[in-house]
Chain A
Amino acid sequence: MLQQKRWRFAILAILPTLAIFAWVRMYPIVETLRLSLHQWNILSKNKPFIGLANFRELFQDQLFLNALTNTSIIAFGVVILTVPTAMVIAGLIHHRTHSRFSGFYETSVFIPHVVSLVPAAMAWKWIFDAKLGPLNALLEFFGIPAQAWLFDPVLSVICIIVLCSWQALGYAVLIYLVGFKNLPVSLFEAAKLDGASGVQRFWHVSVPMLKPITLYVSVVTLISGFNVYAQAFVLASDSQGAPGRQVRVLVLDMLENSFRNYRVGYAASEAVVLLAIVLVLTLIQFGLLREKGRK
């Protein structure tokens, strides 16, 4: 009787949230999966089922393959740049916890992570600007010829990586700081007694102990790297917004297929590819963590 009353409260209380959740989260996810197997051009009424034809076409589509390559390079580039830097910076900040500036360090490293994407990208657009930007002025000062940073296809990918890393760093540092705080102090004392230097302690104690955190931060950063869109939109569009010049990334390609070419089913199959990438990364993370737990 009492149990039943509590059960009724629980169901009634969670029902609104569950309904919203089903409506704006589960339904569209299922719909994405379903649409990816259909051919649907917004204008036509019928959506014939075409099996995996969308996916077959996708992997022969130069624009999509180009987007996939760019996105992967950006995602891995950001991880390679961000994770080691974050670990070192967090280690140093942790070491100087009692410094009167530690609050300042934490805040300024974290600020790029919270500012809105577009205004922040605007700042970098100025830095990278070929004619007016300080980066080229600085390079010329050292006798290096100016580069057309945002117009060259290779250089503009590098610019996007720099911008994304600048933003991702704050989050990674924060998570590492939590990790450093949770490391057992006794281990460091023991290493110190054995005569290990600060660098040795960092390399031989902190780095291996923080492996789960490194794994977590890497996967999170990779996943958000695969979803890159705003940064590419702002940095790599010229003043006329010519789409040909843009660095093609997955989300951009997907939105173009859906809203410019009206091929919704095709765009949905791209979304499924993105989902598959994210799932694989997450599974790898869980797998590695479990393996470590067993040892």
Chain B
Amino acid sequence: MKTRGKLIDFAIDVFLFCFSILMILPLVFLVSNAFKTPEEIVAWPPRIIPSDPTLENFRSVLADTPLPLWIFNSVAFSTLSMVAIVMTSAIAGYVLAKFPFRSLNIIFILILATAIVPFEVYMIPLYFQAQALGVLNSLWGLLLGYLVMSFGIFLIRQNVMHSIPDELLEAARIDGAGEFWIFWRIVLPLLRGALGALAVLAFFQAWTSFAWPMIVTTTRNSYTIEVGLALFQTGFTVDLGRLSAASAAVLVPSITLFVILRRNFVQGVASTGMKE
């Protein structure tokens, strides 16, 4: 009986192992194709380690596209969006959790009601707002769509309610601490974990955004990496080797970052499913 159980566990492990490999195989091949010569890309069966690795693809992508600039745009946009979302969510989440006033309840309901509206629904009017401000084709235009995150506000509110006791705040108030001092010196440090998870979530959200950068940026030098790559691949003379090289240059750093921040990320994403 026991050996049979072990055998089943072993079989499950083998299955899960194969499944996991299959999931990442497309990305593995993408990276390996980036180093292949045009002849080798079409070879069957495909090899994971190129027999004759070459940097030619990378060289020609860098010659043809402002790839480093696109990456810079994406990093700057994602970082600014992350900072904006963490700041707005921290303050709003704390206030909405710990200050029981009726006016604040109305605000919370408003935020709640707009939370389910997908970005794609309202991005066209937002585009005209960006146009009116004259920020099209710039970082600020990109940022306009990613300044706040309803979910971030919920996440922080939830966290404040669960992890910060009222007594702690009251004690500080009795000691004569100002409200701002309490937020800055007591609340924020206690929220470090939740804010970290939110930061990672916000960064990746902006990093992988597509539709908004697609309509806001129309000049080659203002593209984010996603838009740049998507339009690059529709060009006439583009072959798979160069596409793979450009993609790999984006994938490898972001996957590395993800693996490093995995715990934060998983915590953040898992909490999206926690709402009642």
A29 engages B16 (CB within 8 Å): no
| Cβ-based interface call for B63 (8 A) | no
Name the contact of A278 in the complex, choosing from B89, B96, B116, B274 (C-beta under 8 A).
B116
B12 engages A95 (CB within 8 Å): yes
B96 engages A116 (CB within 8 Å): no
Cβ contacts under 8 Å, B230 to chain A = 118, 230, 233-234
Name the contact of A17 in the complex, choosing from B117, B148, B234 (C-beta under 8 A).
B148
**Cα distance A101–B20 when bound, in Å?**
10
Known: A18-B92, A89-B16. A126 touches B121 (CB 8 A): no
**Cα distance A114–B78 when bound, in Å?**
14
A239 engages B247 (CB within 8 Å): no
A239 engages B16 (CB within 8 Å): no
**Cα distance A28–B117 when bound, in Å?**
11
B122 engages A229 (CB within 8 Å): no
CB-based nearest A residue for B240: A126
B238 engages A20 (CB within 8 Å): no
CB-based nearest A residue for B30: A123
A9 engages B122 (CB within 8 Å): no
| Cβ-based interface call for B24 (8 A) | yes
B23 engages A7 (CB within 8 Å): no
| Minimum C-beta distance from B245 to chain A (A) | 10
B254 engages A178 (CB within 8 Å): no
B92 engages A17 (CB within 8 Å): yes
B183 engages A13 (CB within 8 Å): yes
Proximity bits, A227-264, B CB within 8 Å = 1, else 0: 10110011001011100000000010011001100001
**Cα distance A217–B211 when bound, in Å?**
23
Cβ contacts under 8 Å, A20 to chain B = 88, 147-148
**Cα distance A97–B94 when bound, in Å?**
35
CB-based nearest B residue for A178: B270
**Cα distance A26–B236 when bound, in Å?**
41
A174 engages B148 (CB within 8 Å): no
| Cβ-based interface call for B204 (8 A) | yes
Name the contact of A120 in the complex, choosing from B26, B104, B122, B214 (C-beta under 8 A).
B26
Cβ contacts under 8 Å, B125 to chain A = 27-28, 31-32, 35, 268
B17 engages A101 (CB within 8 Å): yes
A174 engages B270 (CB within 8 Å): yes
Cβ contacts under 8 Å, A240 to chain B = 234, 236
Cβ contacts under 8 Å, B118 to chain A = 223, 226-227, 274-275, 278
**Cα distance A74–B134 when bound, in Å?**
37
| Cβ-based interface call for B62 (8 A) | no
Binding site for B on A (CB under 8 A): 5-7, 9-11, 13-14, 16-18, 20-21, 23-29, 31-32, 35, 89, 92-93, 95-96, 99, 101, 104-112, 114-120, 122-127, 129, 131-132, 134, 137, 166, 169, 171, 174-175, 177-179, 198, 213, 216-217, 223, 226-227, 229-230, 233-234, 237, 239-241, 251, 254-255, 258-259, 264, 267-268, 271-272, 274-275, 278-279, 282
15 A-B pairs in the complex with CB atoms less than 8 angstroms apart: A13-B91, A13-B183, A32-B125, A109-B19, A111-B27, A120-B26, A131-B42, A174-B270, A178-B270, A230-B226, A234-B233, A240-B234, A264-B124, A268-B125, A271-B122
Q: A24-B126, A118-B247 are in contact. List 16 more A-B contacts (CB 8 A).
A: A10-B95, A21-B114, A96-B16, A104-B20, A105-B19, A112-B24, A112-B26, A174-B270, A178-B270, A178-B273, A198-B8, A227-B119, A239-B235, A240-B236, A255-B124, A271-B120
Binding site for A on B (CB under 8 A): 8-9, 12-13, 15-17, 19-21, 23-24, 26-27, 29-30, 33, 41-42, 44-46, 88-89, 91-92, 94-96, 99, 101, 103-104, 107, 110-111, 114, 116-126, 128-129, 144-145, 147-148, 150, 153, 179-180, 183, 204, 207-208, 210-211, 214-215, 225-226, 229-230, 233-236, 238, 240, 243-244, 246-248, 250-251, 254-255, 258-259, 262, 265-266, 269-270, 272-274
